[in-house]
Chains A and B, each alone.
Chain A
Amino acid sequence: MNETKTHDPSLTSWYVGEDFYQDLVDAFTDWQTDEREVDDLALRDTCRRLLEKEARLLDRRRLEDWIALYAPECVYWVPATPHGGDPRREIAVSFDDRRRLEDRIFRLRNDFAWSQRPQSRTARLVSNVTVFATGDQAELMVCSTFLTTELQAGDRRTYAGWYGHRLRRLDDGWRIVVKQVNLIDCDQNLRNPSIVL
């Protein structure tokens, strides 16, 4: 794990290894149990505000501010199967580490990404926020439901599903370590899925 300290995750991908994947799959397996549900309203509000802020920054296309909500070593994961699956063995709709997320932002900012010319406009609702404890005080899992309406090239579309956010408390507050986007139509053919979901 020393390696991860000496390598900049924006430039190299040292943290995505076997242990990382295993931990990811474990964290996203059977986590929404009643016993783990957190009823602390203040904590729930903290999580909720983070998710709402994320939605607002994406809607405003403040992509650099948006990615600042993420921990340096993070993952944006859109599974292609309704059960999440194991990203080591299955293709995902998207599976971005920090560097690839920055790639994504770079491309969305590039004037020649034709799938985003014209740029999509989006309006995101995030609701039904439920917070779950983990074995670690500095880590939370958050389940929410989303509905994103997109205007792309004059045509209005929607994405719906639920998010699983894994949050970690760092020195400067809670940050997103993993965002799992579970589309209700993840195993269907999608038309121009080029926005950040």
Chain B
Amino acid sequence: MTQHEAARRPNRLPTTQYDYDELIHEDRVHQSLYTDPGLFREEMRKVFGAVWVYLAHESQIPKNNDFVTSKLGLRPIIVVRDNAGTIRALYNRCTHRGATICRQPSGSARSFSCPYHGWSYFNTGQLSGVPWPEGYGCDFSDPKYNLAQVPRVASYRGFIFGTLNPDAPSLENYLGPVRRPLDEWLDRHPGGKVAFCDANRLKFRGNWKLLYDNSCDGYHVIFSHRSLLAMENRLVAGNTPEKGMAFYKNSPDDGPVYLKYFGNGHHFKDKRATVEKRPGALWEIEGPHPGMERYEAALRARLGENADAVLDLASSEPVNINVFPNLHILGNHVQVSQPLSVSETDTTWWGTAVVDEKDALYGEVDAVNALRMRTQESFPNFGEVDDLMNFEGIQAGLAAEEDEWVYMHRGLDVPGRITTDADGVITGPSTDEVFLRETYKYYRQLMTAEPDIAITREVAHE
């Protein structure tokens, strides 16, 4: 039984200084949600401290003793597969006086030793020694000197999450129906898995929610990404199908693209219906990428009719799967957002490679990945940079603090756009802002509650 240590808040700060019912309405939210540093600080506790937060991917720590650093909200974390294989999320914070003990982004280590006074810890979090212990009058076998760690860490099919909230539901229940698109996304790959393969790393001067607000937004595409749409189609001749995101141009309100809201802030935009259901159809709508013609011809020569399905794996899967508050799967990328301050956010687009342990791809996995690296680089280079500057534009605009509201009422009170099924899953057109309204209802619920945040210093294995 894990012993949780209740995190006491010093100075008895009031749990909130904000009236969230005043700040969050069905059709609009207040600009201070994006600009107020005190509110941001509450979010790091009430949102990031209360729910399951994505921390890392298992392919980043394949072997025992592998680690990768991460953050839970602003808390520096070391995600480690310890010497017995248990995945832990250790606080990267020396018990002594608080220095980070690990300053490498990733690596392999059986123990961590603090650079400041040399306290050292096994990768289970247990204190292994302090220099000149005879100068201390305490018992260092007391677990209170072990590293703090996230009390609940769990994986869903390779995605590692942690929560500080002992009352949070199980990870599976927290994810709920967003697991289905996640499963489908994984299951299109051999073995139902992918491996991370470096990243497109971007940042912007804006609040983290600007990115979350954008993640299911089918309304912005032809405007914000106008240059990309033109670029992707600049070589398209005659009656060949248009490439990339061109389907948004044809009255996206009633096209086949839809979005779903799953509860707990998770949502999903599904563009797959614009692609014919046959091998090779996905590959056909890929824009131009380096090596495309050469690899395609070689694969077709070697594989014949099997080439189409293999080429589809190099193509971008037309979905956006958004797991609140910081994980997005779009195309073949796993995009992680990391708040740094109320007005600064990192967004890291991890590339994913196909892993083919059972040779389902006729020995062509390397060719698929060589193409797949290039298809993935396109959007961060030519699409996301424009969105990020629009987020920065919002952050700048919201400096006008007496112009209070940010509207999200597209679709509200318009009959016939939205359906809700028996499980409460909401479906609507991809250009509807219902996903924002529902996410902010959940957000308001989180911000008006005070989670019982806990840490543990237990090192026993499960």
Residues of A within 8 A of B (CB): 3, 7, 11-18, 20-21, 75, 80-81, 85, 87-97, 99-100, 103-104, 106-107, 110, 112-115, 117, 153, 187-194
Instruction: Say which one of B51-59, B292-300, B321-329 lies at the interface with A.
Output: B292-300
Choose from B291, B374, B393 the contact partner of A17 (Cβ within 8 Å).
Answer: B291
CA distance A20 to B374 in the complex (A): 14
In the complex, how many angstroms separate the beta carbon of A20 from the nearest chain B beta carbon?
A: 8
Q: Which residue of B lies closest to A4 (CB)?
A: B294
Extra pairs beyond A103-B231, A190-B201, A191-B203 (17, CB < 8 Å): A7-B293, A13-B291, A21-B370, A75-B290, A80-B200, A89-B197, A89-B369, A91-B197, A91-B351, A95-B290, A97-B291, A100-B378, A110-B226, A114-B393, A189-B346, A189-B347, A194-B385
Are A95 and B346 closer than 8 Å at their CB atoms? Answer: no
Q: Which residue of A lies closest to B353 (CB)?
A: A89
Choose from B199, B204, B367, B382 the contact partner of A80 (Cβ within 8 Å).
Answer: B199
CA distance A186 to B292 in the complex (A): 26
CA distance A104 to B382 in the complex (A): 8
Per-position 1/0 for B58-73, Cβ under 8 A of A:
0000000000000000
B253 on the A face (CB < 8 A): no
| B contact face: mostly helix, strand, loop, or mixed | helix
In the complex, how many angstroms separate the beta carbon of A2 from the nearest chain B beta carbon?
A: 13
Set of chain B residues within 8 Å of A88, measured between Cβ atoms: 366, 369-370, 373
Set of chain B residues within 8 Å of A100, measured between Cβ atoms: 288-290, 378
Can you offer 6 A-B residue contacts whose CB atoms are under 8 A? Answer: A89-B366, A91-B373, A95-B377, A153-B389, A190-B202, A192-B202
Are A13 and B293 closer than 8 Å at their CB atoms? Answer: yes
Are A110 and B386 closer than 8 Å at their CB atoms? Answer: no
CA distance A21 to B291 in the complex (A): 10
In the complex, how many angstroms separate the beta carbon of A17 from the nearest chain B beta carbon?
A: 4
Shortest beta-carbon contacts, A-B, top 3 = A91-B351, A16-B291, A113-B227
Q: Which residue of B lies closest to A85 (CB)?
A: B198
Are A13 and B288 closer than 8 Å at their CB atoms? Answer: yes
In the complex, how many angstroms separate the beta carbon of A186 from the nearest chain B beta carbon?
A: 9
Known: A80-B199, A88-B370, A114-B389. A191 touches B376 (CB 8 A): no
Are B353 and A93 closer than 8 Å at their CB atoms? Answer: no
B224 on the A face (CB < 8 A): yes
In the complex, how many angstroms separate the beta carbon of A178 from the nearest chain B beta carbon?
A: 13
B234 on the A face (CB < 8 A): yes
B348 on the A face (CB < 8 A): yes
CA distance A99 to B235 in the complex (A): 10
Set of chain B residues within 8 Å of A12, measured between Cβ atoms: 292-293
Are B373 and A95 closer than 8 Å at their CB atoms? Answer: yes
B381 on the A face (CB < 8 A): yes
